[in-house]
Amino acid sequence: MKKIFLSLLCFFSFQSNAFALVTELGVSYSYAKKAYNASNYTQSDSKGLSVSLYFLEKLALELSYTDAFYESQESDTNSTRTVQQSTTIMDSSLIFGFLDKKSFIQPYLKGGAAYIKKNQRVRYLNASVIEIPESSGWAPSYGAGLKFVLTERFSVKLSYDVWQTSLSDGSKSEDSALKAGLSWYL
């Protein structure tokens, strides 16, 4: 699934000039670490790629791929517990921009569907690793963002995205991300 999605991402980014579409490539990265001390902390990082195909002045189809990792460790005098979770998100959304392409600030809304895969493991000190069953499936996605135009070709993007993720026990959780990144118009 990952290879198919990345192949489509590359195909559309290179073929868009033949269809007279405006193409926007984007990259994003985030990292956060919070520590109480060396034995009690949480940390996460996220990397993302996207391609947006503008087929009308204010409408675009965005294909994005995000790879995220989260780790937390809790220790007391008797034990240490470490939780690690990796998440892969492949999203396809329709974007609606509110202002024209010449505006310095360009707000937008987006909505679509995402395929999400989560893996989690829990490790206790001096014990074996517990693998939680993988959660994967399709989920609705939506979000809002601001694009700050730096030049005719480069922009800084800030967005808030939400996914309604299916869990292995049949319930759902709402995952969200605040993203910052750069985009480049081809």
Give dist(CA 98, CA 81) in Å, integer: 47
DSSP state of 98: S
What pLDDT was estimated at residue 17? 44
Element (H, E) at 11: helix 2-15
Residues in the chain: 186
CB 107, CB 97: distance < 8 Å: yes
CA–centroid distance for 33 within its chain: 18
What pLDDT was estimated at residue 178? 87
Give dist(CA 179, CA 105) in Å, integer: 16
What pLDDT was estimated at residue 19? 47
Residues 102-139: pLDDT tens digits?
Answer: 789 999 999 999 999 999 999 988 788 889 888 888 99
What pLDDT was estimated at residue 52? 92
What pLDDT was estimated at residue 16? 43
Q: What architecture is domain 2-185?
A: Beta Barrel (2.40)
Enumerate residue ranges in the chain where pLDDT < 70. Answer: 1-20, 168
